[in-house]
Each structure stands twice: as C-alpha cells, then as structure tokens.
C-alpha cells in the first residue's frame, strides 16, 4: 500500500507520481488542506481549489479509489506516514 500526496498537481491522467504508485496493489490518494500553506491565498483561490479537489476525487473514483482530504500540517502528515509516499508537487506539463 502506498500514499499519493497531492500538493500542487491535482491531476491523475498524466501524473508521474500516480503512474509510479499505480504499480502497487493498493493506492491511497491524499490531499492535506494545510491552512498554514494556504494562508497567502484568498477566498477565490480556495473556492477554485475546492472545485479542483472535487474533480480529482471523481478521477480517483473512476479508478476505484477514494481521495482523502484532511486538515492539518503537511509536514505532520509526512512525519506520521507509515507507508511509502509519492508526492505530486509539480504543476505544469510533463514531457
């Protein structure tokens, strides 16, 4: 079992971390709603982020997984991880 932690890249279809994690039997997609990281952004950005997370959840549902969204500090989640974590932190195009 592995965790795919989404930071900035909220895509599934062309995401290298998701592709690598898919080699494992069980996949746990995760997003941490980290107010400390999001403090710099306004209401409109956070509303857009919520919409993107809904799309991400649907994409994982199509793959037979459920996206987990938790509130907290990203660093704490990484410190507490008891299984391999694949980070989705690059936003942009993949080549």
Tens-place pLDDT, residues 58-77: 999 998 999 999 999 988 87
What pLDDT, on the 0 to 100 scale, is given for residue 94? 40
Is the distance from CB of 12 to CB of 86 less than 8 angstroms?
A: no
Query: What does the alpha-carbon distance between residue 86 and residue 56 come to, in Å, rounded to a whole number?
Result: 16
What pLDDT, on the 0 to 100 scale, is given for residue 56? 96
Angle ∠(12,13,14) on CA atoms, nearest 5: 100
Task: Please report which confidence band the pLDDT of residue 87 belongs to, taking 50, 70 and 90 as the band edges.
Answer: confident
Is the distance from CB of 8 to CB of 88 less than 8 angstroms?
A: yes
């Amino acid at each position: 079992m592995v965790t795919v932690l989404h930071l900035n890249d909220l895509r599934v279809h062309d995401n290298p971390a998701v592709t690598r994690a898919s080699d494992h039997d069980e996949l746990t997609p995760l997003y941490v709603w980290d107010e400390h990281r999001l403090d710099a952004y306004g209401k409109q950005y956070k509303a857009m982020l919520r919409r993107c997370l809904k799309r991400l959840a649907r994409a994982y549902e199509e793959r037979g997984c459920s996206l987990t969204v938790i509130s907290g500090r990203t660093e704490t989640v990484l410190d507490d991880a008891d299984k391999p974590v694949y980070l989705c932190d690059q936003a942009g195009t993949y080549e």
